[in-house]
Amino acid sequence: MTLKQRTTKRAADREFMAAAVLTLGAKLGLSHERFDDPDARTIIVSLKAPSGLQVNVDLDGMTSQPDVHVLGWNMSFESDKRLNDDTFGGSVNRHHQQKATYIAHGFEELLVQLEKGFTMANNGSAYLN
């Protein structure tokens, strides 16, 4: 099965997706944690960069829009860094520049966007100077 065929509608695929996101987090040196809600058929993977950028990946098996992943990026309260709208992409909050939203369509794009965002966080290019 290809990444494009993976869907949040299937329990086995949600497990595969969660494992892949956790593996990516470990590869990028992120703190990462998994939360399960079996009643809601949901797995949430929380990822956080050392610089404070964080996102929760919600693999919701009961969503009305399967395989549309809304990434709500935000800076942790401990960080005073601000996201650079010119480099980070998505929709950066213009007021305080500590939140951004990106919509990934499908699991393959989800992995690409997670890697891109956290690579930029790790090398500093996600932030304003």
* pLDDT, tens digit, 9 for 90 and up, residues 18-57: 999 999 999 999 999 999 987 889 999 999 999 999 999 9
Domain 3-122 has CATH 3.90.1150: yes
Q: What angle do CA 64, 65, 71 make, to 5 degrees?
A: 125
CA distance 27 to 107: 18
Distance (Å) of CA 43 to CA 47, 115, 120: 13, 19, 25
* Confidence (pLDDT) at 90: 76
**Alpha carbon distances (Å) from 124 to 14, 38, 74:** 31, 37, 15
Buried b (16+ CB within 10 A) or exposed e, 87-120: ebbbebeeeebbebebebebbebbbebbeebbeb
pLDDT digits (tens, 9 = 90+) for 63-80: 989 899 999 999 999 999
95 — pLDDT class (breaks 50, 70, 90): confident
Distance CA 20, CA 100 (A): 23
Task: Please state, in angstroms and rounded to a whole number, the distance separating the CA atoms of residues 70 and 109.
Answer: 11
**pLDDT (mean) for 101-128:** 96
* DSSP single-letter state for residue 83: B
Residue 121's pLDDT is 97
Judge if pTM exceeds 0.75.
Answer: yes
pLDDT number for residue 4: 80
Question: What residue ranges do the domains of the chain occupy?
Answer: 3-122
